[in-house]
Amino acid sequence: GENVEQHPSTLSVQEGDSAVIKCTYSDSASNYFPWYKQELGKRPQLIIDIRSNVGEKKDQRIAVTLNKTAKHFSLHITETQPEDSAVYFCAASSGGYQKVTFGIGTKLQVIP
Amino acid sequence: SAVISQKPSRDICQRGTSLTIQCQVDSQVTMMFWYRQQPGQSLTLIATANQGSEATYESGFVIDKFPISRPNLTFSTLTVSNMSPEDSSIYLCSVVRTSSYEQYFGPGTRLTVT
């Protein structure tokens, strides 16, 4: 089955700096890579996703990149703000109606 | 996105008892899943709830312990049976809309077993 590795497990950045979270996956059939943000006590929220036919996708201060050859994908948050503090999960699936496999999560702390 | 509700939002139960968690979605969805998330941990898939048939369980999870029903396309239940303190966790249902890759989560049920 799919195995998703995520690092770092914790990340502290100063407000305004950038944050990068990296993930690798094992199943070459995976073609859908969502990212979730989970604030304390709340449900995971889908914040951005990327499909294997795209190398990069941006949404305001958030961007994801995908390298299919190396089987890794990354989340980039620019101009971080205190409200970006949360746990971020990467995930991978073979898309459509297939189950999603999650990474262990990265606890991001943005220091004002 | 999808509007997903879960009941109860939290419960404290005694060892040896069972709890049934309900998940309701505002519109028809293709896939419904049940996850467990222990404090500070990632999301672990328990099973895929199949409409009108037996759920598909992941390794380490069995039907006798976590029976699941899905009588229609918008509703599912997960029962945690014969509970022990190790079952204390947050249980989340999740859905994938028809013709979409996007997966959304319910608000979760926080279960404490004493």
Would you give the distance in Å from CA B23 to the centre of its chain?
7
Residue B102: predicted pLDDT: 85
A49 chain-B contacts, CB cut-off 8 A: 101-102
Q: How would you write B7-52 as a 3-class SS string?
A: ECCEEEECCCCCEEEEEEECCCEEEEEEEEECCCCCCEEEEEECCC
Residue A96: predicted pLDDT: 60
Chain A interface test: which of B1, B43, B59, B73 (most A C-beta within 10 Å): B43
A42 chain-B contacts, CB cut-off 8 A: 107
Kindly indicate the confidence band of residue B88, based on its pLDDT and cuts at 50, 70 and 90. Answer: very high
* Tens digits of residue pLDDT in A1-50: 889 999 999 999 999 999 999 999 999 999 999 999 999 999 999 999 99
Residue B96: predicted pLDDT: 86
Q: Give φ, ψ of B70 to 5 degrees.
A: -150, 85
CB contact under 8 A, A43 and B43: no
Report the mean per-residue pLDDT for chain B.
Answer: 93
A99 chain-B contacts, CB cut-off 8 A: 33, 45, 48
Chain A interface test: which of B5, B33, B50, B101 (most A C-beta within 10 Å): B101
Of the listed ranges A65-74, A77-86, A96-105, B84-93, the least confidently predicted one is A96-105
Please tell me which residue, B113 or B101, carries the higher pLDDT value. B113
Helix (H, G, I), strand (E, B) or coil at A27: coil
Whether residue A95 is predicted with pLDDT greater than 70 in this model: the reply is no
Kindly indicate the confidence band of residue B79, based on its pLDDT and cuts at 50, 70 and 90. Answer: very high
Chain A to chain B Cβ contacts (< 8 Å): 42
- Cβ distance B63 to B10 under 8 Å? no
Distance CA A106, CA A1 (A): 22
Whether residue A97 is predicted with pLDDT greater than 90 in this model: the reply is no
CB contact under 8 A, A43 and B48: no
For residues A64-72, give the mean pLDDT.
95
User: How much of chain B, in percent, has pLDDT values that exceed 90?
Assistant: 78
B105 chain-A contacts, CB cut-off 8 A: 43-45
Whether residue B51 is predicted with pLDDT greater than 90 in this model: the reply is no
Look at strands A86-92 and A101-102 and give their pairing.
Answer: antiparallel
Distance CA B50, CA B28 (A): 13
- Cβ distance A90 to A73 under 8 Å? yes
Whether residue A68 is predicted with pLDDT greater than 90 in this model: the reply is yes
Distance CA B12, CA B88 (A): 9
